[in-house]
């Protein structure tokens, strides 16, 4: 098996199913465990699938929607998508055999939470929210050869984004820990644990309810959501190469995830009265790496 490199995907599609769907929101997409699709060479991965997610952040009802992913490497520079976010690594991957790699670069995302596909009638009565355009950066470090083999991966990463479109007008910071290991040249399993910290205006925009909105929806008024840790969660993944191996060809991916809304955010009526603090995702997909 070839030694992993910095930011190309181990599963060539983990982000496809660990990401919250583009149609709904950019909630700091759960991160992928990474490895090389072509040891030091250029590659392109395209993927599609279906995923079951809450109809809004804090909902107790899920919807099933499609998702797509694109990622690759050109001249040593990696790029990858996670749901409605696109990332680029500006540190050239010039030594793919290294056991420790550092990644850094810009990120841009669209947040569509509560702009469409809201199933709960009371939350829907609060009115649609504006689309947020979030830009910022990310940084991370990956260690290859940690516990189980020369090819397992442990990654630490943090994303930070700010809304520049004037929707929530605030920021979101997502620290993530990832671990993954190949079981063979065709099978890979992984897990990621993450939390999300948001600014005061984010909490106010998405979780507080003023008297007029309460009267329209029948939900209670609420004004306690501000800055703080909004949610934490874990994702588990399995992927299997249907043709070729994990570095090329067609791959099937499956994922399940659990998130918990935290603190003052879980006490918001959109969660406590109309939804649930327990959030689940599950998905299936296919990717192809050229």
Which CATH number covers residue 159?
2.40.160.40
Whether 192 and 157 have beta carbons less than 8 Å apart is answered as no
Question: From the CB of residue 246, how many other CB atoms can be counted at a distance below 10 Å?
Answer: 26
What's the mean pLDDT when you consider all of the chain? 86
Helices (H), the chain: 14-18, 121-125, 200-207, 211-217, 263-266, 269-272
Q: Residue 177 falls within a domain, yes or no?
A: yes
pLDDT for position 214 = 98
Domain membership of residue 3 (yes or no) is: no
What average pLDDT score do residues 272-284 get?
Answer: 97
7 domain residue, yes or no: no
In whole angstroms, give the CA distance from residue 114 to residue 129: 6
Please check whether residue 262 lies inside any domain of the structure.
yes
- Confidence class for position 32, pLDDT limits 50, 70, 90: very low
Residue 6 has pLDDT above 90, yes or no: no
CA distances from 246 to 18, 74, 151 (A): 18, 19, 12
Give the C-alpha separation, 97 to 144, whole Å. 9
What pLDDT, on a 0 to 100 scale, did the predictor assign at position 147? Answer: 87
In a domain, 136, yes or no: yes
Return the pLDDT at 194: 95
Alpha carbon 118 to chain centroid distance? 20
Q: 94 lies in which domain range?
A: 14-289
Q: What angle do CA 223, 224, 226 make, to 5 degrees?
A: 105
Quickly tell me which residue has 């009265």 as its tokens.
Answer: 273
Q: How confident is the model at residue 255 (pLDDT cuts 50, 70, 90)?
A: very high
Whether 89 is in a domain gets the answer: yes
The CA radius of gyration of the chain, in Å to the nearest whole number, is 19
Q: Determine the pLDDT at residue 94.
A: 65
In this predicted structure, the answer to whether residue 14 has a pLDDT above a threshold of 90 is no
Residue 69 binned pLDDT confidence (cut-offs 50, 70, 90)? confident
Domain count of the fold of the chain: 1
6: in domain: no
Asked, for residue 1, whether it belongs to a domain, the answer is no
Cβ-count burial 257-280 (b if 16+ within 10 Å, e if not): bebebbebbbbbbbbbbbbbbebe
Backbone angles phi, psi at 217, to 5 degrees: -105, -25
Cite the beta strand spans of 21-114 per DSSP E.
43-54, 62-74, 77-82, 85-88, 100-111
């Amino acid at each position: 098996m070839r030694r992993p490199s910095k930011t190309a995907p181990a599963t060539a599609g983990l982000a496809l199913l660990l990401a919250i769907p583009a149609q709904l929101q950019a909630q700091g997409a759960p991160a992928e465990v990474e490895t090389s699709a072509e040891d030091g060479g250029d590659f392109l991965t395209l993927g599609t699938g279906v995923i079951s997610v809450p109809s809004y952040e804090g909902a107790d009802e899920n919807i099933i929607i499609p998702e797509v992913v694109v990622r690759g490497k050109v001249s040593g520079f990696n790029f990858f998508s996670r749901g409605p976010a696109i990332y680029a690594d500006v540190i050239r991957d010039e030594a793919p055999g290294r056991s420790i790699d550092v990644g850094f670069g810009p990120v841009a995302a669209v947040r569509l939470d509560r702009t469409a596909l809201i199933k709960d009638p009371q939350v829907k009565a609060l009115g649609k929210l504006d689309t947020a355009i979030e830009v910022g950066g990310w940084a991370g470090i990956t260690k290859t050869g940690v516990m189980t083999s020369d090819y397992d991966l442990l990654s630490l990463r943090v994303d930070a984004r700010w809304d520049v479109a004037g929707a929530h007008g605030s920021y979101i910071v997502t620290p993530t820990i990832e671990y993954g290991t190949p079981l063979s040249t065709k099978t890979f399993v992984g897990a990621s644990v993450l939390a999300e910290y948001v600014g005061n205006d984010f909490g106010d925009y998405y979780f507080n309810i003023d008297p007029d909105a309460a009267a329209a929806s029948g939900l209670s008024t609420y004004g306690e959501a501000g800055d703080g840790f909004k949610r934490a969660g874990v994702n588990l993944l399995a992927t299997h190469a249907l043709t070729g191996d994990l570095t090329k060809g067609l791959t099937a991916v499956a994922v399940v995830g659990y998130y918990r809304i935290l603190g003052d955010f879980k006490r918001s009526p959109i969660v406590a009265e109309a939804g649930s603090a327990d959030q689940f995702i599950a998905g299936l997909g296919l990717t192809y790496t050229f």
